[in-house]
Every structure is written in structure tokens, then in C-alpha cells.
Chain A
């Protein structure tokens, strides 16, 4: 009886929400563009920029190698861009799903139902993760096929590495959900954070080029560890658990952020029920 109701009250709703988002998203033609065309063109400009900076004979590569620990700058940039795209779209899509639910008018209706509100956020995160696996796979396949990306690591290890960021994304979206429910303008905050992340996490350049202060701030952000982890495994091979410290930091901070998010979400849920901010106002 107990486990049954847990399934009905949480697991089944989570999958229903995820399935709902997947169905809706794939019904828009723009999704195919985002999944099959965007991931291929997205890293191009960076790679050409890299080629330009390397000089006609590639003399710049030496200094890049010193900074980045690899001379394979195209793999470095492609992995950076893809990981960034993955994180970015997840933050964007998951957040968007909650925002549109709020503005669309379906939000209130959900809150009159006996379903856990947490299930709505978890389901939206799950859908976003599932949907964004597709462009990752497309891009990796494409760049590996044309020889610009040299995959040394095994795909299983790469997937394991990607899974380590799930608690962080979930926590981030819970916090975001709490903010969007309470404040209308939370979308702007997320935009700013994404830009800050893109600079501080060393996505498109080696972290070593940043001033030392920014470097140490960057090193504290879990996403930096995530990008480093994926990049190292793709370019140099090895297993996820060779990087126990990074993995522990990612999972630990992710779980902490999720807990914080869950608390914030619950507090906001209560405050909203007395101030009537759910929708419309």
C-alpha cells in the first residue's frame, strides 16, 4: 500500500511530466533544428577562431598546449562547446518549462491536484536531460566522423561523467522554480548566471588564461569540474572514478544545492499560498 502510493504520488507523475514535455517539444519543428543542425554548426566559429589564433603554421598551438594540457584544440573546443550547450539548454529548457507552465495557466490547475509539486520540477528536469542527449550524440558522432574530434575515452565513461552533473542541474532548477514562482523577473537572473558560468567555467578557453582571482572563483563552481571531467575523459581517456575528488565535489555540491532548492521551493509554496501569487498577479 505504502510503496504503491509512493509510486502513484511521485514516480508515475514524474514520468508523466517528463513524457508531457518530450511530446510537446518534439511536436515543434524547431526541435529538429535544435537537435540536428544547431549542435553541428554551434562549435564551428570557435574552431575557426582557434585555427586563426594558432597561425598559418600552427605556432600558437604550443602556447595553447602549455595552458590547456593538450594540443588537440579542436577536440578541446568541441567538447567545451557541447558540454556548455548541454548545460545551457538544460538550464534554459527546464526553467522555461516551469515559466511557461506558470504563464500558460496550467500552473494553478496543477496546484489543485494531490500530486507532489516537486514531481513537476523533477519531471521537467528529466525531460530536458533526455531531450538534450540527442544533440550531444549527434554532434559527437558528426565531429568524430569528420575527424575533428578524437575520442580516446569510452562512451560509457562519458555517459557516467554526464550523470554526475544531474544533481546540480536538479538543484539549480529547483532554486529557479522557487524564484519564478515568487518573482516574475527570475528569467533575467538565470540569463546573467549562465553568462557568468560561461566565462568562469573555462568552456571555450583554458581556465589558465583568466586572472588568478577569477580562476579561483571558477574552480569553486561545480560546473567547472564537470567540464574538466568530460573533457579529460574524451581527450585523454580514463575512468570517471580516476577523478574522485571532482566527482565527490560535483555530487556533494549537487546534492546540497538540491536540498537547498527543495527547502526554498517548499518555503515559496507556503508563502504563495498566503499571498496568492501563483498566477495572474
Chain B
């Protein structure tokens, strides 16, 4: 059974800038013809850097925005023509810490939102007990939300989203702003939600999160899906058996040229970060002896500070597909 079917979804925003007498209209295409479908019971991730169009996608699916073109169906119900039916079948967790009322207790928040979902009191109270004990926040029911930790708050938000027992749940950057421990625990919860038979669509810009959590991933870049499959298949499709990561003080251009002559059929991509050169080498044909590589680099006056040999990651898939790093735009650490 297909839980969510998205077909050619597109969203353009027109923004006006400048003073009224010299008003310029600019059209931004935030989502540019996105199609995918999610079978029931799957965790599907939209993975992409900031500004890729993930939130805009989620907002269209959550019936907050009307698509410019294309369509989507939740269990057969159209997100535009049957928005009320869609809102009953699918709930959304939008980014930000302020999606709960901080001056209300956890129980008050959950009862309040249950009323807005149109749930009756007996069902609500039973559901609140089930969900809060499942997420381990039952002893916080009487506490004001402002007194909770960020991780606990995010669990209450998940409780809220699950109150009406939806078939599908949308999570926009669910672990953003959480410390590594809380993020890990939340990822376990998300897997548990899937194991209860729910379908989960989440967005993230963390590679390892998409890798660890998803049954399937779509990498989204500039509003388009560039590739989509299970993390394992995507990494295999990379056509590289090993990745060598070097950090050096410098990496002159001639170095790349020398590399191509010496190790034909392999790729080296260099990028400066924090005053260091980070070189990613995709080993595609044969083996590259580290000693030989180091010798070559030294000839160009560069000093290698660290060397790591790794299995390919989704990050490498992203670089391969788009020629850019996912997290170069922001200062989030690559591995937590």
C-alpha cells in the first residue's frame, strides 16, 4: 500500500524587493518538480543542505502551502482538494522549539492539541498515558514545558503528533538543536514509531542521520531530487570502494594534476575549511598506496596532517551527485 504519493510537486515564491517606486519582482523556485512515493511502514528521508527546498516540500504536504504545480496524495486523498481528510490522516512536526506552549504543562498542551484535532476526552486521556510512557516523559506530565530539556520537549512534540493515531507523520529536521545524546535517543523513537506500523517522512541535513534512520533516502538539491534509493544501494552505486580523506596545509593545483597522472581513474576533490585543506579521494580503480600518495604530496611542498580511509558515506554520494558538500553552508560538525 502506498501511504504517500508525490507527483511533480513544484513551488514558486514571488518576492518583491526594493522601494515601492522601483519594486522588483523575483521568482524563486523552491521546489522544482519533486516526485516520490512511500510505501506504508517506511521511513523515508529528504536529505539536503539548507535551502534545498525540504521545508517547502513538507509545508505543501502538511497543507500549509498550495503547490504551484504537481500533486500529492495521502492514502489516496489529494492534499489540495481533500485537505481536511489529509489533516486527519497525517500530522506534522515543524521545526523550532516553540511549537508547544511553554507556560502550559505537558498534559495541558497535549489535551489542548487533542481538542484541536477533534479527539474526545476519553480517547485523549488514554492516548496521553500510552504515548508519554512510551516516550519516557510520563513523569513530566504535570511540569510546565518551559522546565523541560530540549530533548524532552521534542519527545512531547512527537507525542502530540501521534495523538490522533495518524497513518503518516512528517518530521522537519526533528533532531535540529538537540545534543548528540538526545538526538540519538530521538532517532530510536522515530524507528519505534515506524515499527508500530506508521509511515515517516523526515527531512534532515545530517548525512549520518539519513543513513542510520531511513529505509530510503532522496537527496534533494536546489529543489530537485538528484538520486533516491536505500542508503546501502546509494553508497554502492558510488562506484568507489574506498574513500581516502587527507588533511594538508596546502594543496596546490598542480597536485591535482599530478594525482590524475599518477592514479588515473580516481578522483581527488580538495576544499578549504578552517584554514586546512580537506582532500577527498575516491578510490575507484585498484589500490592507492598511502606511502606513494604521501610522497607525491610532499614533492609539492604540502604536509599531510591526517589520513583516514573510510567506506563511502552518503556525504560522498552527495558530493558525487552535486559537486558540493552538504554541510559547507553551515557550521554543523560533520560527525557527532
Residues 278-305 of B contacting A (Cβ, < 8 Å): none
Q: Is A9 an interface residue (CB 8 A)?
A: yes
Question: For A5, what are the chain B residues with a Cβ–Cβ distance below 8 Å?
Answer: 118
The number of chain A residues with a CB under 8 A from chain B is: 30
Beyond contacts A16-B112, A23-B108, A114-B87: 6 other A-B pairs, Cβ-Cβ < 8 A, are A16-B116, A105-B97, A106-B98, A273-B65, A274-B65, A278-B64
Is the pair B112, A274 in contact by a Cβ cutoff of 8 Å? Answer: no
Which chain B residue shows the least CB distance to A108?
B94
Residues 188-217 of B contacting A (Cβ, < 8 Å): none
Which chain B residue shows the least CB distance to A10?
B118
Q: Is B259 an interface residue (CB 8 A)?
A: no
Cβ distance B121 to chain A, nearest Cβ, rounded Å = 9
**Contacts from A to B (Cβ < 8 Å):** 5, 8-9, 12-13, 15-17, 19-20, 23-24, 27-28, 104-106, 108-115, 273-276, 278
Chain B contact residues (Cβ within 8 angstroms of A): what range? Answer: 20 to 34
Question: For A112, what are the chain B residues with a Cβ–Cβ distance below 8 Å?
Answer: 62-64, 87, 91-92, 94
Which chain A residue shows the least CB distance to B61?
A112
Residues 79-119 of B contacting A (Cβ, < 8 Å): 84, 87-88, 91-92, 94, 96-101, 103-104, 108, 111-113, 115-119
Known A-B contacts A20-B101, A20-B104, A27-B103; A110 and B66 likewise in contact (beta carbons under 8 Å): no
Cβ distance A201 to chain B, nearest Cβ, rounded Å = 34
Question: For B11, what are the chain A residues with a Cβ–Cβ distance below 8 Å?
Answer: 276
Cα distance, A105 to B92, chains bound together (Å): 13
Question: For A15, what are the chain B residues with a Cβ–Cβ distance below 8 Å?
Answer: 115
Cα distance, A108 to B62, chains bound together (Å): 10
Cα distance, A110 to B108, chains bound together (Å): 16
Question: For B84, what are the chain A residues with a Cβ–Cβ distance below 8 Å?
Answer: 114
Is the pair B112, A20 in contact by a Cβ cutoff of 8 Å? Answer: yes
Is the pair B87, A113 in contact by a Cβ cutoff of 8 Å? Answer: yes
Q: Is B328 an interface residue (CB 8 A)?
A: no
Is the pair B108, A9 in contact by a Cβ cutoff of 8 Å? Answer: no
Q: Which 5 pairs of residues, A with B, have the shortest CB-CB distance? A: A105-B98, A16-B115, A115-B116, A105-B96, A114-B87
Most chain A CB within 10 A, of B65, B91, B117, is at: B65
Question: For A8, what are the chain B residues with a Cβ–Cβ distance below 8 Å?
Answer: 118-120
Question: For A27, what are the chain B residues with a Cβ–Cβ distance below 8 Å?
Answer: 103
